[in-house]
Structure 1
Amino acid sequence: MNKALTLVICVLIGIVLFMLISYANIKAELTAKEYELASLTLTLENQNAQIKALEIDLQIYQEAKPKIQEKIITKYVALSPSDSSCEARLHHIQDLVNAWYGISKQVSLEGVR
């Protein structure tokens, strides 16, 4: 009976040791998976923030697009001089420069003469 009891105790100790080792391994794997999950969550949050920033940039661009389009159209408007006098050509060149740089027509050529 002593041998049977010793054998049962050895088997129980073996089972307990196996369970402790398995628990330690599972706990290490769980810790590694938690770290991976935290890392992936942080990456996802950063990507979401970047997407939000791009959405805001897109909204700003879409709001400003008509103004940009209008500016492009006014830059490339074709102006032709009505007569071929020197002053008319000068006014024509000034109008082209003003259209290109978006300057209003308040600038005059009175000091040029």
Structure 2
Amino acid sequence: MSVEHAAEAEGANEEVSATASTMLRYYSVAPGVRLNVRSGPGTGYRIVRVLPEGSKVAIFCQTPGTWVSGPYGTSNIWDNIDDGEYVSDAYVNTGTDGYVASRCI
């Protein structure tokens, strides 16, 4: 690939990345909650970090897992918020009891 074509391809990739990031939506974690972030979609997975009160999360995909009761109902939907990081959807204000993102693969 010539230098000129490589630069064009790089510019195209930047546009896709910019477009994808502008479409990303953030959701609020329930008020007053410090939310455990787990390594997988369930309460049996290890806690990798804790989100502070007032956090907002981007949901990249969702998957079924352990049933959890929280401020937004009882749900088995788990939200993937980063590589290897999941939170229970019962603690995230998505405005619905259903899926708001594609299923994780």
TM-score range, shorter chain: 0.3 to 0.5
Q: Which has the higher strand share?
A: 2
Q: Give TM-score, length-normalised by structure 2.
A: 0.33
Q: Which has the higher contact order (CA 8 A, sep 6+)?
A: 2
Q: Give TM-score, length-normalised by structure 1.
A: 0.31
Q: Could you say which structure has the larger radius of gyration?
A: 1
